[in-house]
């Protein structure tokens, strides 16, 4: 049974097998979570990202897709980079599907590597402007569904949502309570 947990904190400090990065399509770093992960993880991560760009991902990583690199100095084995959609209300449906795909694809990539514990940030809830409450709903529903689908194939012990600041934590906590038992 996969545990879904919510913690308030810094994703770069999470001792898990895989840490998910809210990257951009260039895979070459940025601010927010991306900046924190590269800063804390060190050059190894960017080295791997550059190799990905020089090989399979010549044009960058598409929105909604995920790819893994080593984790450098982070207390994790892998970083799973995923590109969230920028919030655009007039394209809500299509982009909400892409945000769900970030969570689903990141879990698929992590599980394929053998990760048993995975930590997620609130993808798209920062620079990309997606309303936090809606990210929480999409993230929690998608993770619960994916965990159930993966259950027979994988030993996924924990999916951890790491919220940066009390307000973000409270939003996720409230949405999680409102969703009630889904499994
Ligand atoms: N740990 C956990 N969460 C964090 C951290 C951290 N160290 N730093 C920021 N956050 C939170 C933000 O508060 C926000 O809720 O992660 C969420 C995602 O914010 P962003 O990092 O801005 O990611 P996103 O909105 O997906 O935008 C991605 O921003 O940094 C650039 O290169 C990145 O272009 C890409 C874009």
Domain count, the chain: 1
The C-alpha atoms of residue 24 and residue 27 are separated, in whole angstroms, by 6
pTM: 0.98
> Which of 32, 19, 17, 1 lies closest to 161 in space, CA to CA?
19
Q: How confident is the model at residue 152 (pLDDT cuts 50, 70, 90)?
A: confident
Instruction: Report pLDDT for 38.
Output: 98
Whose Cα sits closest to atom 18 in ligand 1? Answer: 126
List Cα–Cα distances, 131 to 101, 135, 137, 153, 182, in angstroms. 17, 6, 10, 33, 22
With beta carbons less than 8 A apart as the criterion, state whether 104 and 44 touch: no
List active site positions. 34
Select from 20, 121, 163 the residue to mutate for testing ligand 1; criterion: most ligand atoms less than 8 Å from CB.
Answer: 121
Averaged pLDDT of the chain: 96
Instruction: Report pLDDT for 64.
Output: 98
Q: How confident is the model at residue 85 (pLDDT cuts 50, 70, 90)?
A: very high
Q: How confident is the model at residue 154 (pLDDT cuts 50, 70, 90)?
A: confident
The C-alpha atoms of residue 9 and residue 152 are separated, in whole angstroms, by 31
The C-alpha atoms of residue 30 and residue 48 are separated, in whole angstroms, by 16
> Which of 104, 161, 159 lies closest to 132 in space, CA to CA?
161
CATH of the domain at 153: 3.40.220.10
Whether residue 180 is predicted with pLDDT greater than 60 in this model: the reply is: yes
Instruction: Report pLDDT for 146.
Output: 92
Going by the DSSP 8-state scheme, the letter that residue 7 receives in this structure is E
Q: Which atom of ligand 1 is nearest to the CA of 29?
A: 32
Q: Which atom of ligand 1 is nearest to the CA of 128?
A: 25
pLDDT in tens, 112-124: 999 999 999 999 9
Residue 171 is part of which domain span?
Answer: 3-179
> Which of 22, 53, 17 lies closest to 37 in space, CA to CA?
22
- Is 63 close to ligand 1, i.e. is its CB under 6 Å away? no
- Is 24 close to ligand 1, i.e. is its CB under 6 Å away? yes
Q: How confident is the model at residue 1 (pLDDT cuts 50, 70, 90)?
A: confident
Whether residue 183 is predicted with pLDDT greater than 60 in this model: the reply is: no
Strand ranges for the chain from DSSP E: 3-8, 18-23, 66-70, 78-83, 117-120, 158-163
- Is 27 close to ligand 1, i.e. is its CB under 6 Å away? no
Task: State in Å: Cα 129 to ligand 1 middle.
Answer: 10
pLDDT in tens, 91-145: 999 999 999 999 999 999 999 999 999 999 999 999 999 999 999 999 999 999 9
Q: Which atom of ligand 1 is nearest to the CA of 168?
A: 15
Task: State in Å: Cα 126 to ligand 1 middle.
Answer: 5
Instruction: Report pLDDT for 181.
Output: 79
């Amino acid at each position: 049974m996969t545990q879904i947990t919510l913690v308030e904190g810094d994703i770069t400090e999470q001792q898990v097998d895989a840490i998910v990065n809210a990257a951009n399509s260039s895979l070459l770093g940025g601010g927010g979570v991306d900046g924190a992960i590269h800063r804390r993880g060190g050059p190894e991560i960017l080295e791997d990202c550059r190799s990905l760009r020089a090989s399979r991902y010549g044009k960058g990583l598409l929105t909604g897709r995920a790819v893994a690199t080593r984790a450098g100095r982070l207390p994790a084995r892998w970083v799973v980079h995923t590109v969230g959609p920028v919030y655009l209300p007039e394209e809500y449906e299509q982009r909400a599907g892409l945000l769900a795909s970030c969570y689903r694809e990141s879990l698929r990539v992590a599980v394929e590597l053998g990760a048993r514990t995975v930590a997620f940030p609130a993808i798209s809830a920062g620079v990309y402007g997606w309303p936090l409450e809606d990210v929480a709903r999409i993230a929690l529903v998608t993770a619960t569904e994916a965990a159930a689908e993966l259950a027979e194939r994988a030993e996924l012990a924990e999916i951890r949502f790491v919220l940066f600041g009390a307000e973000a934590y409270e939003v996720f906590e409230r949405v999680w309570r409102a969703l009630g038992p889904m499994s």
